């Protein structure tokens, strides 16, 4: 699933780059050749520019939403795993070997650090 999201995001970014390049190229032509050419063709180009500008906004929003959805799922999974592991430790504390208990505590600490980083990054807008 993670790979599928990465491929989707990559396609969205490639599409965004393509639309921005077309927009830039058309804008340059409109500016360079504003005195010559058919007014009807210029109007058609301006309409395409408006359509591209809307498409750029949509693509940017889709990319941001995908990123936020992925981050939110990671946060949910970390919280769930943390709670489940805490319950497991509480229920099996006396039966767990010392090394296993130590490993579980390290994993819990890592989850807390990951969670703090994800929450911090989301507040910073990353």
Residues 22 and 25: their CA atoms lie apart, in Å, by 5
Phi/psi region, residue 10 (left: phi>0; alpha: psi -120 to 50; beta: rest), is alpha
Closest to 55 (Cα-Cα) out of 87, 86, 88, 21: 21
Per-residue pLDDT of 57-114, as tens digits, reads 888 888 888 778 888 888 999 999 999 999 999 999 899 999 999 999 999 999 999 9
pTM for the model stands at: 0.56
Question: Cβ(77)–Cβ(111) under 8 Å?
Answer: no
DSSP state of 35: S
Per-residue pLDDT of 5-17, as tens digits, reads 778 888 888 888 9
């Amino acid at each position: 699933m993670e790979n599928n999201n990465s491929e989707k995001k990559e396609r969205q970014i490639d599409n965004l780059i393509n639309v921005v390049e077309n927009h830039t190229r058309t804008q340059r032509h409109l500016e360079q050749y504003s005195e010559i050419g058919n007014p009807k063709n210029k109007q058609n180009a301006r309409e395409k520019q408006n359509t591209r500008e809307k498409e750029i906004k949509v693509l940017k929003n889709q990319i941001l939403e995908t990123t936020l959805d992925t981050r939110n799922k990671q946060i949910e999974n970390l919280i769930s795993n943390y709670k489940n592991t805490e319950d497991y430790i509480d229920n099996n504390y006396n039966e767990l070997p010392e090394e296993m208990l130590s490993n579980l505590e390290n994993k819990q600490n890592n989850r807390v650090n990951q969670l703090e980083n994800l929450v911090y990054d989301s507040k910073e807008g990353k």
